[in-house]
Structure 1
């Protein structure tokens, strides 16, 4: 795919951002997005992958962008979301099963990707080579090698790339306040940080089932190995509902290493991210990963499950990560979901609902310096991840959730999964980004794409 696929519309879009220039970046964050300036300056977006979070990020973005197209391999999901989008923006977006038809279009400035994880890298790389900026849901990658490839292509193409770790912007300012507390020395020297990310339940045996007529199963699998569709009749309720509770598709893809990384890359991508940000470890990595306690739901041999009809990611775990400056990180499936920071002079806990502890209470008498939150964020704080993405599209600078910091923290999550799969401690070289003295473990840093679904570069 050629970088020459930049359209007149895109040139107008970028020329408009240059003209807005300095004025756009001294205004408050809420007023800096195109949608709040002029309808003629609204970028044109498309979303690829529409269930749950796919619709969520699209729905949050209508006030900032126009959606020209949507894509999904499930015709029911695609049809329903096209109608919802038409009602929202008073114009019906085009519908596609094959995302490549979106990348071929010359009127689309950026794509939002919310497919299952095993598709993220292929679509992201091809989109960048097609001249599109990219917003991709977390976790960004299935393997560490995929992260390195995305970094290479971002640098090569100059595309703006936002990772959908919305906890950096859309969970109030609790996490930013937590980082500011650490950086201001309010707990002294950090000695330990515990990330509580929850566990998962094992599945019963899930039999081979007939593929629902609305799903292109081969295309859904894409780069992953060719396997039978599996599902039990019981349906999932609540968030992610309307699909089988137990399957190897749709919502349950998170519980299979073939498509995702379980809780380690689901919630870990949120809380390990904030922990690394606070520790100043967003451009480095750990030296050692040790699985202290864990439970896998099926038998493993040489790091691979020997059973293929049940979920295979860890159900419970306690992992120790040796971080720079002698900080101990614990990633735990037990306890309250959130992050506990412990230092030589105090400790506090933060999650999406609260920030508590003596250092927090002390803020009443000794508040953080003015501008401390903005200093953490790197400028005026945006309350919408899409607005931050569009600001970055205007400035041609990388956004708050850039691929480099995301990949560095996600390496911890990927390595934790590898350590459990192989049942051993792993030593990590953060400079070379490889496992030290363990060829078998290093073989899990990449995976081979299925023939016919290789990345087009």
Structure 2
């Protein structure tokens, strides 16, 4: 795998991290033909529409017009075309094949919310087609994919926002948390615990007929070719309307073939904030240790021995040795959120609350004026989509840039590798390689299925 020139990557990272990834200027060249003036409303398309795909599209109607939608499930596609028409008063064009979206010169940017195993191929091709990109988290399926995306961003000069929206939204609680740590309100940071919840195991899931509306071959894409599996029971509530147990739709997160389980799902949110707060957005751990864990099925040599049930970790506690002697724990136990502990106090933050003595002390000793904006790199945007649109106009990288996202996501990917192999991993954050473990290093990349290769 070719690497970015080290001096260039370091210089880019230093400038991005110093200003919350909001001050890196990109050239105005190679922009889509339909978006020439910063005063125009950009024209967007969404690729992948279930759940988060619709969520990020809906947040963006205020700032952009959607000319097209794409999904491999015809029912999902039709429903979202109708909803989009109702929201914006104009019907978007509908496509099963995302490449037809990328071929359109009038589309300035794409929002990508497919299953994780499709992210890298689509976003790289989108940038090569001259589109800016907003991609849902986790950005990648492997660490090697992250490096490919970094290379493509630098080569094309596109604006790229990752959907770790806790950096912008959630009532600014996470921004306040980062500011508290950076202003020394808990003293020297000693420990950070990221509670991200666990995943369910499954019964045996039999091979089943592919739903008529689903293009299963195209859904699999770069992943290995396997039969569709599902049980009759249907999921209800969020993500409902599909089988509760399957190897597609909402359940893709339960399979290492398509995702990284809870580590790259909620981990991509909370580990991101933790790394930002402790100043580790341009580096990584020295060791990743699987303290305790349970996988959803039996493994041998890092791979599941069966293919008819979920295979990601159901429960876990992972320890990452971070710079400056900070211990990071990533666990399925306890409340969902982040606990920061230092020599002078501790506090907890999640999407609903921020609590602890350092927070209580703000009544008498508030943070300095502008502390939140200093963390964010400027005025906080209305929402994460707004930050993306603002950066499309300014040609700066957004608040959730590719480089810092990949660095924290490496911790999550390494955690999964450590559990799959059942051993501690030593990591070189400068070389971004596992030290002295050839077998573990083989998990840093994954071969794409023939016909779905990623080309940079």
Aligned to 2:100: 101
| Runs of 4+ more than 6 Å apart | none
Residue pair 2:426, 2:434 contacting (<8 A) in 1 also: yes
CA distance in 2, matches of 1:420, 1:455: 27
Equivalent runs, 1:335-354 vs 2, <5 Å: 335-354=334-353
Q: 1:99 deviation in Å?
A: 0.2
CA distance in 1, matches of 2:325, 2:33: 53
Matches within 5 A, 1:251-270: 251-270=250-269
Cα distance in 2, alignment partners of residues 8 and 238 from structure 1: 41
Q: What corresponds to 1:404 in structure 2? A: 403
Deviation, 1:397, is 1.0
Equivalent residue, structure 1, for 2:75: 76
Name 1:232's counterpart in structure 2.
231
What is the aligned partner in structure 2 of residue 222 from structure 1? 221
CA distance in 2 between counterparts of 1:441 and 1:293 reads: 18
**Correspondence 1:9 to 2:47:** no
Deviation at 1:239, TM superposition (A): 0.2
Shift of 1:5: 7.1
User: Which digits, 9 at most, give the CA deviation of each residue in 1:246-280, with x for residues without a partner?
Assistant: 00000000000000000000000000000000001
SS in structure 2 at match of 1:9: coil
* Aligned counterpart, 2:18: none
2:422 paired with 1:423? yes
* CA distance in structure 2 between the aligned counterparts of 1:188 and 1:109, rounded to whole angstroms: 45
Conservation of the 8 A alpha-carbon contact between 1:6 and 1:106 = no
The residue number in structure 2 matching 1:305 is 304
Instruction: Report SS of the residue matched to 2:60.
Output: coil
User: Whole-Å Cα distance in 1 between the matches of residues 318 and 311 of structure 2?
Assistant: 18
Structure-2 separation of matches of 1:74 and 1:8: 29
**Corresponding residue of 2:187:** 188
Alignment partner, residue 394 of structure 1? 393
Query: In structure 1, how many angstroms separate the alpha carbons of the residues matched to 2:418 and 2:120?
Result: 23
CA contact (8 A) 2:210 2:228 kept: yes
Structure 1 unaligned spans of 5+ = 18-33, 35-40
State the number of aligned residues.
429
Residue 4 of structure 1: how far off its partner (Å): 9.3
8 Å CA contact retained: 1:5, 1:106: no
Measure how far apart 1:66 and its partner are.
0.5
- Alpha-carbon separation, structure 2, partners of 1:70 and 1:170: 25
2:292 maps to 293
Residue in 2 that maps onto 1:121: 120
| Structure-2-length-normalised TM-score | 0.93
Three-state SS of the structure 1 residue aligned to 2:170 is coil
Asked whether the equivalents of residues 32 and 131 of structure 2 are also in contact (C-alpha less than 8 Å), the reply is no
Structure 1 CA distance, aligned partners of 2:244 and 2:228? 14
Take 2:380 and 2:29, find their aligned partners in 1: how far apart are those partners?
34
Q: How does 1:361-372 map to 2 (within 5 A)?
A: 361-372=360-371
- 1:110 equivalent in alignment to 2:112: no
Paired with 1:5 and 1:133, the residues of 2 have a C-alpha distance of 10
1:246 matched residue in structure 2: 245
Q: Distance in 1 between matches of 2:80 and 2:384?
A: 21
- Tell me, yes or no, if structure 1 residue 438 matches structure 2 residue 437: yes
Match of 2:13 in 1: none
Structure 1 residue 357 corresponds to structure 2 residue 356: yes
Partner of 1:28: none
Superposed displacement of residue 120, structure 1: 0.1
8 Å Cα contact 1:4-1:131 kept in structure 2: no
| SS of residue paired to 1:60 | helix
Q: Pairwise CA RMSD of aligned residues?
A: 1.1
Report if the CA contact (8 A) 2:205-2:246 is conserved: yes
Partner Cα separation in structure 1 for residue 143 and residue 366 of structure 2: 40
Three-state SS of the structure 2 residue aligned to 1:188 is coil
Q: Secondary structure of 1:204's match?
A: coil
The reply on whether 1:169 has 2:168 as its aligned counterpart is: yes
1:455: how far off?
A: 2.0
Give the C-alpha shift of residue 394 in structure 1. 1.0
Aligned mates of 2:362, 2:89 — CA distance in 1: 47
Confirm or deny: 8 A CA contact 2:33 2:108 kept in the other structure. Answer: no
Ranges in structure 2 where 5+ consecutive residues have no aligned partner: 1-27
Q: In 1, are the aligned partners of 2:32 and 2:130 still within 8 Å (CA)?
A: no
Q: CA deviation at 1:177?
A: 0.6
Q: What is the CA–CA distance in structure 2 between the aligned matches of 1:388 and 1:280, rounded to whole Å?
A: 22
SS at match of 1:83: helix
- Per the alignment, residue 413 of structure 2 pairs with 414
Q: Is the 8 A contact 2:121 2:454 kept in 1?
A: yes
CA deviations on 1:83-123 (whole Å, 9 max, x unpaired) are: 11111111100000000000000100000000000000000
In 2: Cα distance, 1:147 partner to 1:109 partner: 23
Q: C-alpha separation between the residues in 2 aligned to 1:7 and 1:197?
A: 39
Matched position secondary structure for 1:294? strand
